[in-house]
Amino acid sequence: QPSRAVDLVEEESGAPGEEQRRWEEARLGAASLKFGARDAASQEPKYQLVLEEEETIEFVRATQLQGNEEPSGPSPPSQAQQKESVQAVRRSLPVFPFREELLAAIADHQVLIIEGETGSGKTTQIPQYLFEEGYTKKGMKIACTQPRRVAAMSVAARVAREMGVKLGNEVGYSIRFEDCTSERTVLRYMTDGMLLREFLSEPDLASYSVVMVDEAHERTLHTDILFGLIKDVARFRPELKVLVASATLDTARFSTFFDDAPVFRIPGRRFPVDIFYTKAPEADYLEACVVSVLQIHVTQPPGDILVFLTGQEEIEAACEMLQDRCRRLGSKIRELLVLPIYANLPSDMQARIFQPTPPGARKVVVATNIAETSLTIEGIIYVLDPGFCKQKSYNPRTGMESLTVTPCSKASANQRAGRAGRVAAGKCFRLYTAWAYQHELEETTVPEIQRTSLGNVVLLLKSLGIHDLMHFDFLDPPPYETLLLALEQLYALGALNHLGELTTSGRKMAELPVDPMLSKMILASEKYSCSEEILTVAAMLSVNNSIFYRPKDKVVHADNARVNFFLPGGDHLVLLNVYTQWAESGYSSQWCYENFVQFRSMRRARDVREQLEGLLERVEVGLSSCQGDYIRVRKAITAGYFYHTARLTRSGYRTVKQQQTVFIHPNSSLFEEQPRWLLYHELVLTTKEFMRQVLEIESSWLLEVAPHYYKAKELEDPHSKKMPKKIGKTREELG
Ligand code: CDP
Ligand code: MG
C-alpha cells in the first residue's frame, strides 16, 4: 500500500510564504507536508488535510464543551514551579479547599459518593487526607481500587513521591501477578479485581478501615461486583468507611444503590474546549491520526497532544509511523516526543509520560482509554479522538466472547474532549463527522457485566459462599442467560457439582488468579505430568499478542524468525518453544533482539510464570515435565479449553457446539495447515470472527477430557473422506 500524502492545503490565500516553501521542499517519501494558511476572518488556521490527491478531509469547528473558567484565566503552576514544592502542588488541586468538609462528611456518613472532574485530585489526595486524619492507626489499611493496572501503579508511585516514602513501604500497589506492598503498606492502590480476591482471604475486609472504589463510572465487571459485596460488608461492619469516587457521571445511580448515600461534589477546573469534526468519514483512522498529529504539531501553538487509540498494537504502530515521519522531516519541524501508554507498558516507560516536556518541544501521548479518566497528564491542550475503543462483547446464546473495536459512547467522547481543557482552553479534533456523533454513538457505554462471560466471577462468588446468584445485589443485573451459561460452563469444567455447589477442584480453580479455563488447564497438567510446560503456556498466553515484533523495515526477517519457531501442533507449542529457547539463552535480551521477540513481554511472562509456579503447591499440582511428549501438553490444554473448539467443515471452520463460522487468524502457525479439529484461546472480531492462538487436537481427546460434555456422535465426521485439502485463502491472498 503506498503511503498516503500528507498535505495541509492552502485554501484561499495568496502566494506561498517562506515557511510553506520549506515544507514543499521537505518531501516525506511520497508524501509532502505544507502549512495551512490562516483564515483571514477568524485567524484560525484551516484544518484541512489532503490525503492522496483527490481525497480531502476537512475539520470543521462545530461545538464547544463549556468550561467554568475563563479561556484566558490564570494558568496553573508551570512544570518548573511544580518541581519546587510538592505541597504547593497538592494545595493547588481543586479538591484541596474541600479537605476539611470532605473529612467531616466521611466522619458523618458510612457511605459517601464523591463526584469530581477528572484531575481534581480524588485518587491521589483523598487517601492521603485519610492517612493524615489517622484512618490507618492500629495497622488498619486503606484500599483504593482502580479498574486498570497502569493506573494503580502510576498513581501509587505518584502518592509515594508526594509522601516522600519508598513505593512499597507505606504506599504500595497490588495488581495481578505483581505485588508491590509490604507489611508496612497502609495505602493500597489495587485493581478492582485484586480487592475482589481479597474477599477470599478476608471476607469482611477486617484489616481495612476505608475502601474507596474509584473510577466507579467505568462500571467494570469487578467494580460492579465489589459494589454488591461491599454494601453487604458495610451492613455488619458499621465502622468501615466506603467511598465511591466517580467522574461526573452516573452518581445518582450510585447514591440510590447505597441506600441514598449523600453525594459530595468537588467542582473541578474546566476551560472551554472547541470541538472539531471531520467533514467526511475517515476510512483509515490510524493513518488519519498520524497525519492529524503532524498537522497539529506544525500549525498549532504550543501544548501537548493526547491521542486515543484502542490497544497496544495500534498504539505501537501509530508511534512507529509518527517517529518514522518525524525522522524523515528531521530538523525541519520542532521536536516531537512520541510517548505510548497502555496496560502492558513497563513502569519506567509509563513514568515518561508524566515528565515535563522540554522547552521548544511538543509531546504527543498515544494512549488507550486509560487516559480518558484514570490518568491525568499535565499540559494537554489538544485531544485527537478517532472515536473507537476496544470492547468485550458476549453472546450468551452462543457463549462466545470476543474483543471488538467499536465506536465509543458519547459520554466517552466528551470525557476525552474534556482532557484538553484542564490547564487552558483546548481543542478536540474528532476523526468522525458531527452527524456520526449525533446518530452513530450510543449515549453511554453498556456496563461490562452485561457484555462479558461470567465464569470467573461466578466461581469467585461461589467460593465466597454466595449461592443464590440470581438474587445477588447487582447495580445492573447481568442477562439471565449469561449467568446460566456461566454455571453450566463451571459444571462442565468440574468446578461445580450438579447442585451448583463448589467442588474440591472448583475450590482449587478459584485459588488461581486466572480464568476458569486456564485454571482447569493448569490443574489438568498434574494428570498429564507436564506442569512445567503448561505453566509456560499459561504465562505466555497471559502476555499474548505482544511476543513478536515486526519492524516495518525488516518485515521479511521478522516473519522468518517467527516461522522458525513453528512446531507441529499449533500456536501454544510455538509459545512454549519461544520461551524455552529464551530460557536456554539465559533469558537474554540479545537473543530476543536477534529473534524479533519482545524482551519486555518475555520478562513479564517470566514473572507471571514464577507467580503461578508459587501457587502450584496450594492447588496440589507437582512440578513435572513432559520430556518432549507434546501430546500430553496438548491434552492438558484441551482439558481446559474443550469449550473453545472448532472443526473444519466443507464451508470452513465451525465451532463444534454452536456451529458458528470462525476463521484461523492469519498470524497463526496453523493458518495454512487447516487441521480438521482445533481449539482456540480467544476470538477476536475484526473483519471476521478470528480465532487467535489455535491448537490442533484430535476429536477423541474431547471424549477423554470432557466425557460429560461431548457425545461420541457429535464428534463424528460425516464427510471425512471427501474433505477438501485446503479451505480459505492463503496469507498472500488475504494481503
Ligand atoms: O482522581 P482525579 O482524576 O480526581 O485526580 P488525580 O488522579 O488525583 O490527579 C491529581 C493530580 O495529580 C493531577 O494534576 C495529575 O496530573 C497528577 N498526577 C501525576 O502527576 N502523576 C500521576 N501518576 C497521577 C496524577
Ligand atoms: Mg482518579
Q: Is residue 76's pLDDT more than 70? A: no
How far, in whole angstroms, is CA 560 from its chain's centroid?
30
Average pLDDT, the chain: 86
The rounded Å distance from CA 302 to ligand 1 centre is 22
Q: Which of the two residues, 589 and 688, has the higher pLDDT score?
A: 589
The rounded Å distance from CA 734 to ligand 1 centre is 45
The rounded Å distance from CA 657 to ligand 1 centre is 48
3-state secondary structure 368-390: CCHHHHCCCCCCEEEEEECCEEE
Q: Whose CA is nearest to atom 15 of ligand 1?
A: 376
Phi then psi for residue 680, to 5 deg, are: -125, 155
Q: Whose CA is nearest to atom 13 of ligand 1?
A: 119
Give the three-state DSSP class for 657. coil
Q: Which of 91, 115, 158, 348 to mutate to test the pocket of ligand 1 (most atoms within 8 A of CB)?
A: 158
Beta strands in 159-240 (DSSP E): 171-175, 178-180, 187-191, 208-213
Is the C-beta atom of 430 inside 6 A of ligand 1?
no
Residue 342 corresponds to which cell in the numbers above?
497502555
Torsion angle, alpha carbons of 702, 708, 713, 719, to 10: -30
Is the C-beta atom of 422 inside 6 A of ligand 1?
no
The rounded Å distance from CA 93 to ligand 2 centre is 12
| Separation CA 361–CA 372 (nearest Å) | 24
Indicate the helix (H) or strand (E) that contains 535. Answer: helix 531-543
Closest among 332, 346, 451, 439 to 390, alpha carbons compared: 451
Q: Which of the two residues, 200 and 250, has the higher pLDDT score?
A: 200
Phi then psi for residue 560, to 5 deg, are: -60, -45
Q: Which of 145, 146, 376, 422 to mutate to test the pocket of ligand 1 (most atoms within 8 A of CB)?
A: 376
Q: Of 69-83, 344-358, 602-616, which one has max mean pLDDT?
A: 602-616
* 388-395 vs 400-407, strand pairing mode: antiparallel
Phi then psi for residue 48, to 5 deg, are: -130, 135
pLDDT tens sequence across 498-513: 999 999 999 999 999 8
For 447-463, what is the mean pLDDT? 93
Residue-level pLDDT at 85: 82
| Separation CA 474–CA 489 (nearest Å) | 21
Q: Whose CA is nearest to atom 10 of ligand 1?
A: 121
Q: Is residue 482's pLDDT more than 50? A: yes
Residue-level pLDDT at 635: 97
Cβ atoms of residues 181 and 173 within 8 Å:
yes
Residue 364 corresponds to which cell in the numbers above?
504527543
- What residues contact residue 611 under an 8 Å CB cut-off, 6+ apart? 177
Phi then psi for residue 619, to 5 deg, are: -105, 15
Residue 288 corresponds to which cell in the numbers above?
488519519
Is the C-beta atom of 116 inside 6 A of ligand 1?
yes
Closest among 64, 57, 687, 7 to 432, alpha carbons compared: 57
pLDDT tens sequence across 634-682: 999 999 999 899 999 999 999 998 889 999 999 899 999 999 999 999 8
pTM for the model stands at 0.83
Residue-level pLDDT at 539: 94
Residue 671 corresponds to which cell in the numbers above?
493458518
The CB density around residue 398, as the number of other CB atoms within 10 Å, is: 13
Beta strands in 416-462 (DSSP E): 426-430
- The angle at the Cα of 143, spanning 137 to 144, to the nearest 5 degrees, equals 135
Is the C-beta atom of 96 inside 6 A of ligand 1?
no
Cβ atoms of residues 541 and 575 within 8 Å:
yes
Q: Is residue 32 very low, low, confident or very high in pLDDT (cuts 50, 70, 90)?
A: very low
Q: Is residue 724's pLDDT more than 70? A: no
Q: Is residue 67 very low, low, confident or very high in pLDDT (cuts 50, 70, 90)?
A: confident
Range with lowest mean pLDDT among 28-32, 372-376, 621-625: 28-32
